[in-house]
């Protein structure tokens, strides 16, 4: 912006648009990713300051998506199938265009893509969905809490096309549910799975039937069990036993669990994503 400002001042309709969120000081948005939050909020504070500094000369606004947008970053963080819970990048492009059409007096605003397009008269947002009708992941920093969205999504159950395969919902976790989950996981292991994964996972589970468990996908044939693995774990995941069973049975997406603070991950994130892909293969058995 420093390099462009002299030229922008000569324009009759100059705009600076930051892709940054509304400033929301709820501690929820700091506890899992403080450095990322500081970086994004720094951009948002630039909007506040620069909008005032260049008032009447340059419009300075922020744009942020209401839902997750399908990008390479989402594929990396969310793994296979995450795109069905996202919108296309088209919604950001259309929202940005709506901002750029406005006069310089439209400045200092924190715009949510869906809201400004509603103002433009858009009513059908399915056109922006990668998979129309599928529940969407909310983006970070917005007022509606991820935990609330998680409960809404779980209450809806699986999308219609999956209900035939899972006509009855899995039973609620009970004593021994974690052990039974690991038994099924063990029966699903193979040399091919081990070769494709090459990682050791450690689970720190709280609640009934909790404790420390491991999934070794480095040794021949793979192994699971109670206690710490014989070799150092590549990924350590901490969560409740109830959420663990939900996650492995497909009722709780790891991405959503992580966003809402139900799942904490230490170690190699790329290997954590590999585990999500493995879980999706086991859902039918679990």
Query: Using one digit for the tens of pLDDT, what is the confidence trace for 267-281?
Result: 887 788 777 767 766
Q: Could you tell me the CA-to-CA distances from 130 to 84, 202, 229, 277 in Å, in that order? A: 6, 34, 40, 19
Residue 171: what pLDDT?
39
- Mapped onto helix, strand or coil, the DSSP state of residue 59 is strand
Count of C-beta atoms within a 10 Å radius of residue 113: 25
Residue 280: what pLDDT?
67
Residue 247: what pLDDT?
84
Sequence ranges of the chain with CATH classification 3.30.1050.10: 177-284
Give the Cα separation of 2 and 46 in Å (integer): 12
Interval 60-100: pLDDT, tens? 999 999 999 998 888 777 766 788 989 999 999 999 999 99
Give the Cα separation of 173 and 242 in Å (integer): 6
Give the Cα separation of 25 and 112 in Å (integer): 17
- For the chain, residues with pLDDT lower than 50 are 145-175
Sequence ranges of the chain with CATH classification 3.40.50.720: 4-152
As assigned by CATH, the class of the 4-152 domain is alpha beta
Angle 28-208-188 from CA coordinates, rounded to 5°: 95
Count of C-beta atoms within a 10 Å radius of residue 234: 22
By annotation, the residues acting in catalysis are 36
Give the Cα separation of 194 and 206 in Å (integer): 27
Residue 121: what pLDDT?
95
Q: What is the dihedral of CA 261, 263, 266, 269, to 10 degrees?
A: -100
Residue 32: what pLDDT?
80
Query: Which CATH fold topology does 177-284 show?
Result: Nonspecific Lipid-transfer Protein; Chain A (3.30.1050)
Q: Hey, which bits of the chain come out as E strands?
A: 15-18, 59-64, 110-112, 199-206, 211-217, 223-226, 235-240, 264-267
Residue 170: what pLDDT?
42
Does the predicted model carry a pTM greater than 0.85?
no
């Amino acid at each position: 912006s420093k390099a462009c400002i002299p030229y922008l001042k000569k324009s009759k309709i100059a705009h600076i648009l930051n892709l940054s969120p509304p400033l929301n000081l709820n501690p929820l948005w700091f506890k899992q990713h403080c450095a990322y939050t500081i970086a994004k909020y720094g951009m948002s504070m630039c909007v506040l300051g620069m909008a005032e500094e260049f008032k009447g000369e340059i419009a300075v606004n922020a744009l942020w998506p209401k839902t997750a947008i399908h990008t390479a970053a989402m594929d990396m963080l969310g793994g296979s199938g995450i795109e069905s819970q996202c919108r296309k990048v088209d919604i950001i492009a259309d929202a940005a265009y709506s901002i750029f059409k406005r006069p310089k007096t439209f400045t200092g605003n924190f715009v949510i893509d869906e809201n400004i397009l509603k103002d433009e008269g858009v009513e059908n947002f399915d056109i922006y969905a990668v998979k129309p009708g599928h529940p969407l992941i909310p983006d970070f920093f917005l007022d509606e809490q991820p935990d609330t969205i998680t409960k809404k999504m779980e209450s809806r159950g699986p999308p219609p096309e999956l209900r035939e395969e899972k006509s009855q919902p899995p039973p609620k976790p009970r004593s021994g549910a974690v052990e039974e989950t690991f038994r099924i996981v063990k029966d699903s292991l193979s040399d091919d799975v081990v070769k494709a994964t090459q990682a050791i996972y450690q689970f720190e589970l709280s609640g009934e039937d909790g404790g420390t468990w491991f999934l070794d996908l480095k040794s021949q044939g793979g192994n699971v069990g109670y206690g710490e693995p014989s070799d150092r774990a590549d990924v350590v995941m901490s969560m409740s036993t109830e959420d663990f069973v939900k996650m492995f049975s497909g009722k709780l997406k790891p991405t959503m669990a992580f966003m809402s603070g139900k799942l904490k991950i230490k170690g190699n994130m790329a290997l954590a994503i590999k585990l999500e892909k493995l879980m999706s293969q086991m859902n039918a058995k679990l």
